[in-house]
Amino acid sequence: MTARPIDAPLRITGLLPRPNDGSLGTRSWKDAGIRIRCASIAPHLGALGAAVKLVESQNLDRRIADGSYFDADVFMIYQTLEDHRPIVGSLLDAGKCVVVDVCDDLTRYKGVLNYNWENAQRAFAITVPTASLARRLAARVEGKRIYIVPDAVEGEPAPVRPPRREGPLRLFWYGWQHKLRTLSERLPALAELAARRPLELTIMSNLRPVGPILQSIVESRYDRLSIAAVPWDLSAFNTAMERSDIAVIPYNESISYSGRSPVRLIQAAWRGRLPVSEDVEGYPEFARFGVLHRSIVDGIAWAVENPDAAAGQLAALQRHVAETHRPEVLARTWMHALSHAYAGFREQGG
């Protein structure tokens, strides 16, 4: 077989999970990572000259039958709950360049997400959203090519609105229920802060079934801290973010989230709302915008006591996000990473 010249249009196939685990046709909770690191980028890669195909895994048998399974230069495998190890194995056996996208520090995970870590270890290259995550993974896979490609924001930017100076301060947290323990540990300190100004905390999560931690949170009773839990839904998310003053992002070292995707932080800023994150180590690039704090309680108190400074920092952060996290900007970063990976693969005889 004659090798394709490296300067030919790069052919990229993204292998996606089945629809019930996150498809392109729905904007579900589970497929958020697929949307921002794949679906929103693909059209812009095409505009840069790449030939991009996005294929859901249940369609692979048909592609094998018609001979189109292996018709790409680079095969992207995205982090998912679906076990794609057999797919990765078949691609590697066929001598294909496989790149695995990793959004979390999977080195400490157990169970289903080990699928993704095993795939990353076998792949020719790995893509990650942050420099801190790249360092964590590089320590475990010596010599592996790792490329940093930030997350994309979704939708259009909203006008910047700093935390309101009057009335209850509205806090917004969203995520999977298993991440709620850290937030629950902050409630007593939030209740102390609420003694100075009432707080309203909205939690958006997967609510079927309601787990014990969430149950204990919603049953908590504080004089000036009210708590409500609402089910995940995209339109409800937009409403909750619009209504909020501050998006709170607590950090739990015990489950090793440091350096994972900062999508909550950048998306809040994109929607014109102040994010307050505790992950000082994982997101150093955001330190200059005043959104990283020792605790979310400290960050909220700072914003309340310094409303003008908070407004200026938020506006600067949103400008930064516009310059670095829009899909059309990140497509160039993806193109550089995948082209570089494919060139290296070819140099090593692939």
Please give the chain's pLDDT, 350 residues, in tens. Answer: 345 555 679 999 998 887 654 444 444 445 677 889 999 999 999 999 999 999 888 878 888 888 888 899 999 999 887 889 999 999 999 999 999 998 877 776 666 568 888 999 999 999 999 998 898 889 888 889 999 999 999 889 999 998 998 999 999 999 888 789 999 999 999 999 999 999 999 999 988 888 999 999 999 999 999 999 999 887 788 899 999 999 999 987 655 555 577 889 999 999 999 999 998 877 888 999 999 999 999 999 999 999 999 999 999 999 999 999 999 999 999 999 999 999 999 999 87
Angle of the 296-305 helix axis to the 180-194 helix axis, nearest 10:
40
End-to-end CA distance of the chain: 12
Phi, psi (rounded to 5 degrees) for 202: -105, 130
In the sheet that holds 51-56, the strands lie side by side as 51-56, 11-16, 74-78, 97-101, 125-128, 145-148
DSSP, collapsed to helix, strand or coil, labels residue 128 as strand
pTM above 0.85, yes or no: yes
Q: Give the separation between CA 309 and CA 284, rounded to whole angstroms.
A: 19
For residues 278-292, one letter each, b for 16 or more C-beta atoms within 10 angstroms of the residue's C-beta and e for the rest, the string is bbeebbeebeebbbb
Q: Are 144 and 125 in contact (CB under 8 A)?
A: yes
Q: Give the model's pLDDT for residue 334.
A: 98
Closest among 248, 300, 236, 247 to 273, alpha carbons compared = 247
